[in-house]
């Protein structure tokens, strides 16, 4: 019979969700998914056991699994994540899908508030013809994005910039997953481990979206697109803001839960002022 420190026994006794626990076990032992099954009588060393117990305790206190592991899968690639970056969400993959479907050949793409770089890097890897610029306001965050770009082999340009403050030139597509959660949204309570400045504007959730729309008018080529992620109750207002700013072909895309999640529009005017937003 396997001893109490054998993988199969530890899995039976865990207080965590089994999937989380198995990922922590893999992290500690270095085993892959198959080895975890074929070597399930493997007995953890004292060192491994101490390490595992520490990780389990962190997870129990609510620290997101992916900060503990240090990576999150997005668009079938592993992205490094740290407390300086949001953990990429599956619905954000829909932003990548949409960018890829609207980008003309050799399009210039700007990703605002890139965080881990997941949107910019995934777009570049899926379509190497794109000329991709990724910006973030925080240097520690931008460093994570650059590291991901290098490790995953995506040749993109990373710029330290507060939205458009250090951005030059015009783009065919501007994309963003901005901080859109309102300050009084109860949802924020469960996201305390993630960088708050990447989640909320501490206001009504629209201040950054408005800034991005205003800035896009000055940085989109004629016929270029702006698309951004937003909260499930922000679709109507997002469409209105784009309409008031002179965008056309405005559309809201729903996520896997059929909730409004992404709004986009095309900009065909030049020299429009954004006084109405």
Interface residue list for ligand GLN (CB under 6 A):
86, 89, 177-181, 191, 199, 229
Question: Smallest distance, Å, CB 22 to ligand GLN?
Answer: 24
The CA distances from residue 178 to 25, 92, 193, in Å, are: 34, 11, 17
* Closer by beta carbon to ligand GLN, 36 or else 110: 110
Nearest residue to ligand GLN on Cβ basis = 199
| Helix H or strand E segment including 73 | strand 71-74
Question: Smallest distance, Å, CB 63 to ligand GLN?
Answer: 16
Alpha carbons 67 and 7: distance in angstroms, whole number: 23
The CA distances from residue 88 to 55, 79, 82, 235, 265, in Å, are: 21, 9, 11, 21, 23
Question: Smallest distance, Å, CB 205 to ligand GLN?
Answer: 8
The DSSP letter of residue 136 is E
Q: At how many degrees (to 10) do helices 18-29 and 46-60 cross? A: 140
**Torsion of the alpha carbons at 158, 99, 236 and 114, rounded to the nearest 10:** -20
Question: Smallest distance, Å, CB 167 to ligand GLN?
Answer: 19
* Closer by beta carbon to ligand GLN, 20 or else 255: 255
* Closer by beta carbon to ligand GLN, 110 or else 199: 199
Alpha carbons 48 and 32: distance in angstroms, whole number: 16
Question: Smallest distance, Å, CB 198 to ligand GLN?
Answer: 6
């Amino acid at each position: 019979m396997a001893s109490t420190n054998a993988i199969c026994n530890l899995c039976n006794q865990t207080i965590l969700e089994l999937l989380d626990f198995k990922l922590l076990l893999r992290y500690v032992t270095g085993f892959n998914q198959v080895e975890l099954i074929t070597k399930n009588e493997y007995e953890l060393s004292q060192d491994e056991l101490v390490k595992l117990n520490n990780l389990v305790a962190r997870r129990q206190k609510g620290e997101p699994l992916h900060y503990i592991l240090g990576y999150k899968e997005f668009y079938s690639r592993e992205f490094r994540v740290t407390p300086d970056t949001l953990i990429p969400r599956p619905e954000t993959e829909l932003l990548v899908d949409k960018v890829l479907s609207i980008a003309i050949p050799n399009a210039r793409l700007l990703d605002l508030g890139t965080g881990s770089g997941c949107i910019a890097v995934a777009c570049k890897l899926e379509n190497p013809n794109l000329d991709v610029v990724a910006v973030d306001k925080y240097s520690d965050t931008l460093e994570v994005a650059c590291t991901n770009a290098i490790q995953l082999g995506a040749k993109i340009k990373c710029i330290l910039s507060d939205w458009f403050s250090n951005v030059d030139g015009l783009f065919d597509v501007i994309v963003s997953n901005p901080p859109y959660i309102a300050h009084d949204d109860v949802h924020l309570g469960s996201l305390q481990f993630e960088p708050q400045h990447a989640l909320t504007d501490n206001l009504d959730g629209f201040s950054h979206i408005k800034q991005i729309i205003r800035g896009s008018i000055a940085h989109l080529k004629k016929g270029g697109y702006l698309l951004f992620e937003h909260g499930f109750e922000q679709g109507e207002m997002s469409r209105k803001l784009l309409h008031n700013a002179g965008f056309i072909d405005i559309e809201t895309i729903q996520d896997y839960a059929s909730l409004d999640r992404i709004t986009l529009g095309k900009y065909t005017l030049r020299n429009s002022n954004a006084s109405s937003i």
